[in-house]
Amino acid sequence: MIDSNKPSEDVIRIEGVSVLYRKPGERIRTFKEYAIRILQRRIQFKEFRALNDVNLQIQKGEIFGIVGNNGAGKSTLLKVVSRVLIPTEGRVWIKGVVTPLLELGAGFHPELTGRENIMLNGTILGHPRREIEEHMDEIIEFSELGDFIDSPLRTYSSGMYARLGFAAATTWEPDILLLDEVLSVGDESFRRKCEARMRGFRNGKTTSIMVSHSMESVMNLCQRVAWLDHGTVRAVGPAADIVAEYRKAQPGAGA
């Protein structure tokens, strides 16, 4: 259940959230074999918990980090908060409009130009056309795309996608910003520029949740961090403490 009306000092409250999937208990090599077993009721499923009883509270103006190995449930949690995925169990209360940057190109059309996609994305987020036009030059300047802004997105690299997506999403200082490894794409100078903008959000109107394998970025930006391990919250606390604990348990964790 997801509700945006619960009165609370927190902007996001995640209570007892679990996400369950069912997957075949044995390897099935082809779709034909899968279909036959379904029809003959000879297939057995195992339950897989992508998230297991997750409880978190995130306050207004906070930059909250999520760390963990691949498959820990980090992206699944962001999808739940963004309403892309409904939890199997538990509740999520959200106060404000969520702006997700979960996948490169999400919310963009590959055949449209960067400029046209800014208009499309702004409209999807509920901004009037005049307001989008007023911010157009600012978005283009921040993205550093230059003349490529009038090229179709299908010609963009992953780094260019990230530049456009971040610039468009953050120009209006969103209520709630979700970032899934977005800052890991592109060159170092632009990453620093994005981090500087996010630091400007800290303790303001924008609440951010960021997933990252870069412990440097987490330390630079986040006040608090949750460590996910196999879908379960293993620890929550100040960024420095959780990153140190995570690095100790996971030698070779992202620099």
Q: What is the pLDDT of residue 108?
A: 87
Neighbours of 50 (CB within 10 A): 21
The mean per-residue pLDDT over the stretch 107-114 comes to 91
- The enclosing domain of 205 has a CATH number of 3.40.50.300
Q: What is the pLDDT of residue 70?
A: 92
Q: What is the pLDDT of residue 251?
A: 74
Could you tell me the pLDDT band of residue 92, with boundaries at 50, 70 and 90?
A: very high
Could you tell me if residue 30 is inside a domain?
Answer: yes
The DSSP code sequence of 24-64 is ESS----HHHHHHHHHTT---EEEEEEEEEEEEEEETT-EE
Q: What is the pLDDT of residue 204?
A: 87
Note down the domain range covering 50: 2-39+46-249
Q: What is the pLDDT of residue 152?
A: 97
Q: Which residues face 15 on adjacent strands?
A: 91
CA distances from 215 to 144, 184, 210 (A): 26, 11, 12
- CB-based contact 16:194 (threshold 8 Å): no
What does the angle CA 246 – CA 231 – CA 1 come to, to the nearest 5 degrees?
Answer: 130
Could you tell me if residue 107 is inside a domain?
Answer: yes
* Type of residue at 248: K
Count of the separate structural domains present in the chain: 1
Please tell me the distance from the alpha carbon of residue 200 to that of residue 111, in angstroms, as a whole number: 33
Could you tell me if residue 254 is inside a domain?
Answer: no
The tokens for 207 are 């609440």
Could you tell me if residue 128 is inside a domain?
Answer: yes
Per the model's pLDDT, the better-predicted residue between 2 and 219 turns out to be: 219
| Maximum separation of any 2 CA atoms in the chain, in Å | 61
Q: Give tens-digit pLDDT for 185-233.
A: 768 888 899 999 999 988 888 999 999 999 999 999 999 999 999 999 9
Q: What is the pLDDT of residue 128?
A: 92
Please tell me the distance from the alpha carbon of residue 74 to that of residue 178, in angstroms, as a whole number: 11
Could you tell me the pLDDT band of residue 124, with boundaries at 50, 70 and 90?
A: confident
The mean per-residue pLDDT over the stretch 141-163 comes to 94
Could you tell me if residue 125 is inside a domain?
Answer: yes
Could you tell me if residue 255 is inside a domain?
Answer: no
Please tell me the distance from the alpha carbon of residue 189 to that of residue 205, in angstroms, as a whole number: 26
Could you tell me if residue 74 is inside a domain?
Answer: yes
Q: What is the pLDDT of residue 29?
A: 63
Q: Kindly tell me if the per-residue pLDDT of 85 is higher than 60.
A: yes
Which segment of 41-55, 119-133, 175-189, 196-210 scores lowest on mean pLDDT?
41-55
Please tell me the distance from the alpha carbon of residue 175 to that of residue 76, in angstroms, as a whole number: 20
Q: What is the pLDDT of residue 117?
A: 95
List phi, psi (to 5°) of 54.
-85, 130
The mean per-residue pLDDT over the stretch 170-175 comes to 89
Q: What is the pLDDT of residue 8?
A: 44
Could you tell me if residue 191 is inside a domain?
Answer: yes
Q: What is the pLDDT of residue 148?
A: 97
